[in-house]
Structures are given as C-alpha cells and as structure tokens.
Amino acid sequence: MLLGWGNEEERDTARRLAAGIERAVVLPRLPMMEAVAFAQRARIAVGVDTGLTHIAAAYCRPTIELYCDSPRWKTEGNWSENIINLGDQGKPPSANEVIQATARLLAATRV
C-alpha cells in the first residue's frame, strides 16, 4: 500500500497510518507527473476528493472516492463501474464502509 500526501500534516497522518499497516509505504514528495504515474497504474485508488483520486478514476483504475468536506454531486465519478463514491459533505463514510467497498471493487475488477 502506497500512501501519498500533499502537505506536512498529511505526511504525518500517512506515517501514523503506515505504522499500523503491514507493508504500507509513505511516498516521498513527488513531482506531479510521477504522482500521476502512480495513479495511472494503481491496482486500486482510495482517496478523498482530490486531483490524484480523480486522475486514477479518469484512467479507469478501480477507485473509491471519499467525500467528507466537499459535496459529492460536484465531482463524483459516475461514468464507470470501476468507481465507488462514498460519503458526502458533512457525512464521511465509516472505515467499515470503505473496507467493504474496497473488497467489492477488487473482487469485481480482478485487476
């Protein structure tokens, strides 16, 4: 599992998450095109409403889009069965919902 980040606070959060996840790796700061290459080749992308999450979806990678602080209707991926949208503004999905959706999507796509 590769954990990306955009600022120092996110990097610290990624490090805390990685400490509890076997084989998780916190990526270094990457130039945008290298980050895009990771998104393009991802087995599955799970992320909040950010550019890299949407890039993975645009490349038709299996993607779980998480909405917490932004309205889902504005940017949700709905053009592919490889995309699952969870949560909405002020209504973040539970960890269990994300885990279940990830398992469903991986089983359906067999990537």
In the block, tokens 């999450």 appear at: 53
More confident residue, 78 or 90: 90
User: Superfamily assignment of 31-109 in CATH?
Assistant: Glycogen Phosphorylase B; (3.40.50.2000)
- Which band of pLDDT confidence, cut at 50, 70 and 90, is reported for residue 93? very high
Residue spans of the domains in the chain: they are 31-109
Q: Which backbone phi and psi does 59 adopt, to 5 degrees? A: -85, 10
> How confident is the model over 26-49, as a mean pLDDT?
92
- Say what the pLDDT of residue 110 is: 66
Could you give the percent of the chain with pLDDT greater than 90? 80
List of residues 6+ apart from 32 with CB closer than 8 A: none
> How confident is the model over 6-16, as a mean pLDDT?
93
- Residues 52-87 pLDDT 10s: 899 999 999 999 999 999 999 999 988 888 999 999
